[in-house]
Structure 1
Amino acid sequence: MPEPEDPRRTPQGVSYADLKHFVNADGQHLFCRYWEPEAPPRALVFVAHGAGEHSGPYDEIGQTLKEQSLLVFAHDHVGHGQSEGDRMNIKDFQVFVRDSLQHIDLMKGRHPDLPIFIIGHSMGGAISILTACARPSDFAGVALIAPMVRMNPESATPFKVFLAKVANHIVPSLTLGLIKSKWISRDQTQVEAYDTDELIYHGGVRVSFAMQMIGASERIERVIPAITWPFLLLHGDVDKLCDIGGSQMMFDKAPSTDKKIKVYDGAYHALHHELPETAASVLKEVTGWISERLPASPSQGS
């Protein structure tokens, strides 16, 4: 008799048996993407996407790094995209970090001798920072695109945080405002793509999720004085979703001797989906920064 097909399906109704995925420690199926170079890879690059989105919008980054002989991989976080889990609802932010380390370990097992880099955007930046801090000697560098180091100061005033904590005890499922797509990018085409992407969560952010984000930013602030791994920070100075002051604080306070920050004047949140000139610069910065930290290839060494 043929073996029964795994009944687990994505929120969109596709069988996980037909998709690349791994199963996390809670038994949830997480959808994966891989950009594998034709030549033997020179390094591994893990990409962590932001809140409410998924790994698909990182295809251009993945394809560009793949052409540099880098093996790029990503997954949709729990409760996001084509992965299982209640939409944008998490029992503990650490689950995102735990799952990222699991995926990194899976790839490290297949390519044990390659250096590992992380690229993280927005909430994915917070995940990246905490992932690298969990194993500081494991990573060759972390590139952060508008990372969530600090919450948007308008939405995280002491009084609003106090109200959120009270609401979290009474009605954790209460929804706050939406993520406003107009603050994603100055490029209207990118805003429209965000609005029409059915894999992106377009609902309200729950109080319980907001509390997990606040807790993560507080954790990051505590660990910054211990960061010694190399990092690149890119941030737009008109970012209304993640406070640029958090990136500046990380740059100023982290004792790492290999660190760089670049501020894009007038740019919004999703720098890699900004106006073409900015997006091209971000792609060049990230690929160049990683390339400079790769071990010499055999042809370069000879």
Structure 2
Amino acid sequence: MPAPGAAPRRSPQGVPYAALPHIVNADGLYLFCRYWEPAGPPRALVFVSHGAGEHSGPYEGIAQTLKDQSLLVFAHDHVGHGQSEGERMNIKDFEIYIRDVLQHVDLMKSRHPDLPVFILGHSMGGAISILTACERPNDFTGVVLIGPMIQLNSESATPFKVCMAKVANYMLPSLNLGPIESKWISRDKTQVEAYENDELIYHGGMRVSFAVQLMGATARIKKEIPSINWPFLILHGDADKLCDIGGSEMMYENAQSLDKKLKIYEGAYHALHHELPEVAESVLKEVSSWITERLPDTTSPQQQAS
């Protein structure tokens, strides 16, 4: 928190944090938050975890769909992303993302102690969601993963390249590996243009140090998968060039969960919720129905009282 008399802390876009919804994480950094609250009493809480380089804003469509089902959806821009503080798309330890998610979830649970909690993650946000649920398996009623980062692309994760990345991280941690290819986000050109024109998305290159953190996260997920027993839904496009579909297949096949589903979209790219309209619509229906079917009691308070 700023010292008395000090200038107010401002978001990377120059807006005072006091004027924005936010939480302050354990490192004292401001995280910009979004909340989509239904008009009536919420039936469940859903945390949305966005991907690398992006922010929580592009999840408006998913959030509104779930809000219409009387679900309270909430999210924050991860450290170093969007309107949150922190060095852009760089972090000293991937665990910080998980810690921050749990802090936000705990805050919302304290306000709604009797509601089930779901977590939804896309891309890197999928990895964050998996590891968050692994740390607190009893806290989540279910996990939804859209094009999740579970294992790195086989071409970029050969033993030689992994070794070279670790050497480069030691010698040149700020070495730029190039930006995310926007053309692989979606087959819908309007969505690709929206991604390219979104000023809150980081369009700079990925540092070696960040890539090494991602490698560490996927290695940890691989170790955790055999012990996973919580319900999950995975949606993945089989033409996804940014997150390897083999990771989703591996998790589906090897997790202990009895309640698990993998749906593959033929020809679809990475951001299924921003894919061609027929795919995006199917994704919204899948996510909405999967979550609502797992609510412990769908009876409204009015029906209970009658």
| Aligned CA distance change for structure 1 residues 6 and 142 (closer, same or farther; 3 Å) | farther
Q: What residue is the counterpart of 2:75 in the other structure?
A: 74
Which residue identity does 2:16 align to in structure 1? S
User: 1:233–1:260: 8 Å Cα contact kept in structure 2?
Assistant: yes
Give per-residue Cα distances to partners, 1:185-241, cap 9 Å, x unaligned: 000000000000000000000000000000000000000011110000000001000
| 2:272 equivalent to 1:281 | no
Number of residues of Structure 1 aligned to a counterpart in Structure 2: 300
CA RMSD after TM alignment:
1.2
Unaligned runs of 5+ in 2: none
Q: What residue is the counterpart of 1:102 in the other structure?
A: 103
Partner-residue secondary structure (3-state), 1:150:
coil
Q: What residue is the counterpart of 1:127 in the other structure?
A: 128
Deviation at 1:159, TM superposition (A): 1.5
TM-score, normalised to structure 2, is: 0.96
Partner-residue secondary structure (3-state), 2:147:
strand
Partner-residue secondary structure (3-state), 1:117:
strand
Deviation at 1:160, TM superposition (A): 1.3
Q: What residue is the counterpart of 2:255 in the other structure?
A: 254
Judge which range, 160-169 or 116-125, deviates more: 160-169
User: 1:185–1:270: 8 Å Cα contact kept in structure 2?
Assistant: yes
Q: What residue is the counterpart of 1:150 in the other structure?
A: 151
Deviation at 1:297, TM superposition (A): 3.0
Q: What residue is the counterpart of 1:204 in the other structure?
A: 205
Distance 2:7 2:34 in 1: 20
**Map 1:49-64 → 2, pairs under 5 A:** 49-64=50-65
Deviation at 1:101, TM superposition (A): 0.2
Unaligned runs of 5+ in 1: none
Partner-residue secondary structure (3-state), 1:298:
coil
TM-score, normalised to structure 1, is: 0.97
Deviation at 1:151, TM superposition (A): 1.0
Q: What residue is the counterpart of 1:188 in the other structure?
A: 189
Q: What residue is the counterpart of 1:263 in the other structure?
A: 264
Deviation at 1:7, TM superposition (A): 1.1
Which residue identity does 2:292 align to in structure 1? S
Deviation at 1:4, TM superposition (A): 5.1
Q: What residue is the counterpart of 1:139 in the other structure?
A: 140
Distance 2:204 2:292 in 1: 38
User: 1:6–1:16: 8 Å Cα contact kept in structure 2?
Assistant: no
Distance 1:48 1:197 in 2: 18
| 2:91 equivalent to 1:90 | yes
Distance 1:63 1:240 in 2: 28
Deviation at 1:6, TM superposition (A): 6.0
Distance 1:6 1:46 in 2: 32
Give per-residue Cα distances to partners, 1:42-74, cap 9 Å, x unaligned: 000000000000000000111110110000000
Distance 1:21 1:132 in 2: 23
Which residue identity does 2:134 align to in structure 1? C
Distance 2:34 2:22 in 1: 8
Judge which range, 4-13 or 194-203, deviates more: 4-13
Which residue identity does 1:202 align to in structure 2? H
Give per-residue Cα distances to partners, 1:258-298, cap 9 Å, x unaligned: 00000000000000000000000001000010010012233
